[in-house]
Structure 1
Amino acid sequence: MPSRVDRYDHVPVTKENLDWAELVTLDLSLYDQPGGREVLVKQLDHAVQHVGFFYVKNFNISQEEIDFQFALGREFYSLPLEEKLNFHNADDLARGEYNGYRPAGHRILANGIKDNVQVYNIPKFDGYHPRQQPSALLEHISQIEAFSRKCHTEIVEKLLRLFAILLELPDENQLVRDHQYDVKGEDHLRYMHYAARNAKENEQVGNLYTPGHTDLGTVTLLFRQPVAALQILNSEGEWKWVRPQDGTITINTCDALTALTGGFIKSSIHRVHAPPQDQAHIDRLGVLYFARPNNHVILDPIQNSPVLNRLGRTTNAFTEIGQHLTTEQWVQVRQTQQQRRNRDGKITTDGKVSYTPKDLEIIPGLHAKVYS
């Protein structure tokens, strides 16, 4: 019988007056109503072309189910380090295999300061990613799988159909077929833990937990947690805080979707900033779901989109250097670059970030970007 898991209580939100981003909220209760999808697509259009971030609400996953995942994340990170390290393999990370555990301090963030983030990734339950799990999670693996599948069916698939309508594809299920849950792919659920730093360490890394970057998949789902830290770079080049909205999930669009749409859908630029003063002492626990095209999908621009053809969106960063990468190839080379341990990074006190070209090379001719 599974062990009892204590209820997860979220900490209070910040009381500081931060410069919050203005983001659209898609009400998915409209999705099956007459004309509802057209309303949602109109809302989505501006968000994905300019910012790449938006909220969704009424997504058929209860707060109780979400809080249980936060509780499981808390239980995992409460384990002794030596037990968590049983699920860590540095050689796997170096090869771009990112599932399992990554301890804090695995990488140098910049200025000789190690990162403060622990990550535990659970691959989707498609039958292609067998992994050992700690008993704290294995006892509840059926609930974890149910939650993972609901993320896909209740949110990801609906968004994919909305994207298909936006792109005027002849079949609104075209993108869904390229993102099937039970077909081999790199989707995963993540429990993510940022340890609070002291003020001196924060200053040494420009008050950043993670520098500005884009995600590599289709969309990322960030379940609401109240420690303010996520910031986005808006179309005016300004960093804005993302407010934790009750009853919502924050969604961002990512590199694979940008590649498939020839840059029409923006890969959102975001970073994790040190929390405001009234939350600076609090560790930050996140629950996220990362959706990606199935492994066999070639990340060339979609050819049968009237929108992309009208706009001449027929190339992307891969095809322009003569590459036609599958999702599996893209994930492997991007993760290999992301997991490099010895980065000679520099961050100024005002958050300007720089790394060497070698650190940022993904494949010859293609480099990752870090945003300040």
Structure 2
Amino acid sequence: MGSITSDKPDPTEFTPHLYPPFPSDTQPVAHLDTFSLAQLKSGDLAEQARLFETCKTRGFFYLDFTNTPAASLPEEAENIGRLSEEVFRLPMEEKTKYTLTNQKPNSILGYKVAGWTKTDAKGTPDTAEFMNVGKDDILDNPTRTPVALPELLLRPENRSLLARYQTTCQRTGLDLMSILATQMGLPADIFEDKHRLHQPSDDHVRMTKGPPRKNTSMPEIQTPGHTDFGTITILFNWLGGLQVWSEPSRGNFHQMFDGAQSGTRAAEWLWVKPKAGHAIVNLGDAAVKFSGGILCSGRHRVVPAPGEQGLFPRYSIVYFVRPEDKTVLKRLTGGDVPPIEEGKEEPELTAQQWIIQQSLALRDGVAKGKVEA
């Protein structure tokens, strides 16, 4: 086990302009499709069909925002990255005032200290810290219980930045889901009343910081293998470290810590290269449930970046579009969505219940909540 050394000063800040390129010899790499949001929204039927195929077979893709009202999103993600650097520099005693479970029972909003989730069946702790900033608290929506946030995030300029970002990501996610709905023969607006911006939900911006790589062997896990709990996720990251599982998930939502648990020897973790100016978008559990398994969610995890990139702390900015708290997660009816098999009952959990259940499974390092699509 060799340690990472460098003659360069150890960088400690969010500095995308200084990051070395993703190592060309890093393998295996996931080959993700790239889509233009402008082209998709223009009504290009061939591109919309291609998006649908990607979401049926992989559930992960790159998204280009050029020539759209969301064109500033990559820049605003960098601004939130710089803000997150300030957040994570706060003293630990200050950050832990906002710890997830200090806020309210089973909360997923607020600060997650490194080590809160488990990365394997042995209970090995993760190494990343999060700050989950709920849209309801930034937009002053009615909430179950308001979540306290550091004063830094509530300064007018920062609150405005977060509000713009949350609103734009929410709209982008629903625009993509509208295209997928049409491809499934469903009304284009079928997801709108399940994801209203001003109704209580667990939609949030996640600021993440993972430590630099410690050694040259298989690295510690920053975020363990999982599928996202919501409908669609929009991610900006500037360093490698994201890995996707080579098989899609269509309904078995057990947490997976080790590839051997998949039962398929050929399956493996694939590196995802960051792509400048593009988001990485993936579908989550709710999309699988709503579509009766037509759509798939991508199982993924995060490790320190490879090669020289691993000398840097890894920041990422994620937005989770999730159904409203009261929305029941079950398959839609109509179009090409397959009906539930005769004699088979479909569990009916609300989005709020589902998200809490899966979040606790990650925290406790156990497989919970197997709910078939």
For the aligned pair, the TM-score class normalised by the smaller chain equals 0.7 to 0.9
The amino acid across from 1:43 in the alignment is R
Count of residues paired in the alignment: 328
Q: 1:148 aligns with which of 166, 171, 175?
A: 166
Corresponding position of 1:109? 119
Corresponding position of 1:314? 340
Q: 2:208 aligns with which of 192, 207, 214?
A: 192
**Contact 1:41 / 1:165 at 8 angstroms: preserved in 2?**
no
Equivalent-residue separation in structure 2 for 1:160 and 1:322 (angstroms) = 23
Corresponding position of 1:257? 287
Equivalent-residue separation in structure 1 for 2:23 and 2:205 (angstroms) = 30
Q: 1:210 aligns with which of 215, 223, 226?
A: 223
Equivalent-residue separation in structure 2 for 1:335 and 1:321 (angstroms) = 24
Equivalent-residue separation in structure 1 for 2:357 and 2:175 (angstroms) = 29
SS of 2:329's partner is: coil
Alignment of 1:24-35 (within 5 A): 24-33=33-42, 35=43
Q: What displacement does 1:21 show?
A: 1.6
Cα distance change of structure 1 residues 237 and 109 upon mapping to structure 2, 3 Å threshold: closer
Equivalent-residue separation in structure 2 for 1:79 and 1:180 (angstroms) = 33
Q: 1:20 aligns with which of 20, 29, 38?
A: 29
**Contact 2:127 / 2:221 at 8 angstroms: preserved in 1?**
no
The amino acid across from 2:204 in the alignment is H
Equivalent-residue separation in structure 2 for 1:336 and 1:112 (angstroms) = 14
Cα distance change of structure 1 residues 186 and 323 upon mapping to structure 2, 3 Å threshold: same
**Contact 2:239 / 2:314 at 8 angstroms: preserved in 1?**
yes
Equivalent-residue separation in structure 2 for 1:313 and 1:321 (angstroms) = 11
SS of 2:205's partner is: strand
Alignment of 1:1-372 (within 5 A): 9-10=16-17, 11-18=19-26, 19-33=28-42, 35-36=43-44, 38-58=45-65, 60-62=70-72, 63-90=74-101, 95-110=105-120, 111=122, 113-124=124-135, 125=139, 126-128=141-143, 130-139=146-155, 140-153=158-171, 155-169=172-186, 171-199=187-215, 203=218, 207-223=220-236, 225-235=237-247, 237-304=267-334, 306-308=335-337, 312-314=338-340, 322-340=346-364, 343=365, 359-362=366-369, 366=370
Equivalent-residue separation in structure 1 for 2:125 and 2:97 (angstroms) = 21
Structure 1 window deviating more from structure 2 (8-17 vs 262-271): it is 8-17
The amino acid across from 1:25 in the alignment is T
Structure 1 window deviating more from structure 2 (228-237 vs 256-265): it is 228-237
Q: Which runs of 5+ in 2 are unaligned?
A: 1-12, 248-265
Q: What displacement does 1:92 show?
A: 5.4
Corresponding position of 1:354? none
What TM-score comes out, normalization by structure 1 length?
Answer: 0.80
Cα distance change of structure 1 residues 320 and 119 upon mapping to structure 2, 3 Å threshold: farther
Cα distance change of structure 1 residues 7 and 360 upon mapping to structure 2, 3 Å threshold: closer
Q: Deviations over 1:256-298 (max 9, x none)?
A: 1101111110011112233212122221111000011112221
**Contact 2:23 / 2:306 at 8 angstroms: preserved in 1?**
no
**Contact 1:123 / 1:189 at 8 angstroms: preserved in 2?**
yes
Equivalent-residue separation in structure 1 for 2:213 and 2:311 (angstroms) = 7
Q: What displacement does 1:322 show?
A: 4.8
The amino acid across from 1:258 in the alignment is V
SS of 2:279's partner is: strand
Cα distance change of structure 1 residues 279 and 288 upon mapping to structure 2, 3 Å threshold: same
Equivalent-residue separation in structure 2 for 1:226 and 1:195 (angstroms) = 14
Cα distance change of structure 1 residues 96 and 142 upon mapping to structure 2, 3 Å threshold: same
Identity of aligned residues (%): 26
**Contact 1:50 / 1:234 at 8 angstroms: preserved in 2?**
no
Equivalent-residue separation in structure 2 for 1:32 and 1:275 (angstroms) = 34
Q: Deviations over 1:119-138 (max 9, x none)?
A: 11011133326222212211
Equivalent-residue separation in structure 1 for 2:92 and 2:234 (angstroms) = 27
Equivalent-residue separation in structure 2 for 1:136 and 1:307 (angstroms) = 47
Cα distance change of structure 1 residues 91 and 130 upon mapping to structure 2, 3 Å threshold: closer
Q: What displacement does 1:251 show?
A: 0.6
Q: What displacement does 1:143 show?
A: 1.7
Q: What displacement does 1:14 show?
A: 2.2
**Contact 1:26 / 1:57 at 8 angstroms: preserved in 2?**
yes
